[in-house]
Structure 1
Amino acid sequence: MRTGPHEFLAAAAARVGAAPAGTPRRPRVGVDLGTASCVLVVLDDDEPVWVESAGSGALHDGVVVDFAKAVATVRALRDSAQDALGLELASAATAYPPCIPVADARACTYVCETAGFERVELVDEVSAAQRTLEVADGVVVDVGGGSTGVGVFRGGELVRLDDRPGGGHHLDLVLAGALDVDLAEAERFKRERPADALPIVTPNLHRIGESIRSMTRGVDADLPLYLAGGALMIPRAGDVLARYLHRTVITHPHALLITPLGIARSCPEGATP
């Protein structure tokens, strides 16, 4: 029996690229429509049984810019999960960055519906991350590909929510320019040589930190920051932000899975096969 988010994330990470952990009796599906990739998670009640991702590029700063491509990506991930699990996945949850226009948030729902899901729950990305991290009192910071979302939680309740441009894509742009390579090579460099990448992207980490400072103005300085999202999966990036903001910053392994898992936890139970 898991006791916290670390074990939950470890269980999900073990499913990446692996065969499904049985056929779920109470499937709950999360679809994370990211800027760089789309992640589909299937839980059996609260146990990860399937995790798969695919490159997308159909979104920009959380807004669907290529509807057909987004639908095709989600449909392919849904078909793959259904084939592996041996059941139809009728319900799903998906998420949107905080503070985008309502029409853009609904577009995320329409993508999933067009891809074959009959019922789609919609949640903001920061609240989804909190459902994985189970933060009672603290600041959840979800650094995505195109933007950084911040939610302040008190007693487990969301009391402030904001979002600003700037995320992993901007770190890749800085690396690409500094190394004179394309974005794909910059992303590989960031993941394969993080110690060399960190000094190059530190000024941009400070810019993200300044956005966080602006979005948390007036919030008690003793509230810790909890980092989510794959954009800052660079060793010691949390330390850079902690020094810059003079706050406690808590990081987690497998941070890329925090939001997708929380999205799946937002999904109503699917039909029993």
Structure 2
Amino acid sequence: MAGGDPHALLAAAADQMGKPPEGTPRRPRVGVDLGTASCVLVVLDSSDEGDCPVWVESAGSGALQDGVVVDFARAVATVRALRDRAVDALGTELSTAATAYPPCIPVADARACTYVCETAGFEDVTLVDEVTAAQRTLEITDGVVVDVGGGSTGVGVFRDGRLERLDDRPGGGHHLDLVLAGALGVETGEAERFKRERPTDALPILTPGLHRIAESIRAMTRGTDADLPLHLAGGALMIPRAGDVLAQYLQRTVVTHPHALLITPLGIARSAP
């Protein structure tokens, strides 16, 4: 069991990705992260001792844009395939789940995420915002959770474990890919591969885009104590030293976490009944 250590939970989830399960979970809790670039399904085996990741799988999606479902059929097919593989591998039915939406999108768009999961075979679906889900993994008491997704950046200000402010603005990993693609003269898919395979070469090109994300963070945290650390979640900023660029630009403490791509999916699963 990962217990109450967020980094131990993240490490256990990363270790489980792509591996067969070791048994059937007694109390499965399922999280579905409908990301812009990919969809991640996490199954936890929960007990009084903590949460243990038993199944972690992702699949390319492209069915969402800026947090909004733009291809319902494709989103459903992706989630159904992930769910069916998890059911077969774990040997148990998965009828309940949680999913998440970017903060501040219209209610109808948020509910579309629920409808995707229901149509894919989940009977009871809990809905949570992505920033709150990330906080459930990191267990931040006093600080700012910054969830940089493919299409947008969400910010939640927490004090004494309570959410005081929640906001979201366009701009994320996809926009960084566009910056890189334009500079290199390649397609966005090739730019994404370049970013992952040659992050040191990509960082100087991406720095102006990171500054734009930093300005969004500044605007969304204006009026809050500058000494509250910023905790980065989401896969869009999994670039070495990206946190340093934000910290220098904003003149604030920025905390990065290992396996940041899994922070929000794990928190979604922990939000499931």
**Same fold by TM (over 0.5)?**
yes
Separation in 2, partners of 1:12, 1:156:
24
CA contact (8 A) 1:145 1:168 kept: yes
What RMSD, in angstroms, separates the aligned Cα atoms of the two structures? 0.7
In the other structure, the counterpart of 1:152 is: 157
In the other structure, the counterpart of 1:41 is: 42
- Report how far residue 21 of structure 1 moved: 3.0
Which one-letter code corresponds to 1:226 in the other structure? H
Separation in 1, partners of 2:21, 2:190:
31
In the other structure, the counterpart of 1:112 is: 117
Separation in 2, partners of 1:220, 1:21:
45
> Is residue 29 of structure 2 the alignment partner of residue 28 of structure 1?
yes
Separation in 1, partners of 2:151, 2:194:
19
- Which among 185, 204, 208 is matched to residue 209 of structure 2? 204
Separation in 2, partners of 1:261, 1:152:
20
In the other structure, the counterpart of 2:172 is: 167
- Which among 133, 139, 143 is matched to residue 138 of structure 2? 133
- Which among 252, 260, 269 is matched to residue 257 of structure 2? 252
Separation in 2, partners of 1:88, 1:172:
38
SS of 2:236's equivalent? helix
Give ranges in structure 1 of 5+ residues lacking alignment: 269-273
Separation in 2, partners of 1:258, 1:201:
23
- Report how far residue 4 of structure 1 moved: 1.6
In the other structure, the counterpart of 1:122 is: 127
CA contact (8 A) 1:138 1:224 kept: yes
Deviations 1:168-218 (A, max 9, x none): 000000111111111111111000100000000000000000000000001
- Report how far residue 220 of structure 1 moved: 0.3
Separation in 2, partners of 1:159, 1:222:
16
- Which among 39, 64, 72 is matched to residue 59 of structure 1? 64
Deviations 1:80-102 (A, max 9, x none): 10011011100000000000000
Separation in 2, partners of 1:85, 1:183:
36
CA contact (8 A) 1:21 1:50 kept: no
In the other structure, the counterpart of 1:271 is: none
SS of 1:116's equivalent? coil
Point out 4+ residue stretches in structure 1 off by more than 3 angstroms: none
In the other structure, the counterpart of 1:241 is: 246
- Which among 260, 267, 273 is matched to residue 262 of structure 1? 267
SS of 1:150's equivalent? strand
In the other structure, the counterpart of 2:10 is: 9
Give ranges in structure 2 of 5+ residues lacking alignment: none
Separation in 2, partners of 1:4, 1:194:
29
Q: Count the aligned residue pairs.
A: 268
In the other structure, the counterpart of 2:79 is: 74
Which one-letter code corresponds to 1:252 in the other structure? H
Separation in 2, partners of 1:4, 1:227:
17
Separation in 2, partners of 1:225, 1:125:
16
Separation in 2, partners of 1:22, 1:205:
42
In the other structure, the counterpart of 1:229 is: 234
Q: What is the percent sequence identity of the aligned residues?
A: 84
Which one-letter code corresponds to 1:267 in the other structure? A
Separation in 1, partners of 2:189, 2:228:
36
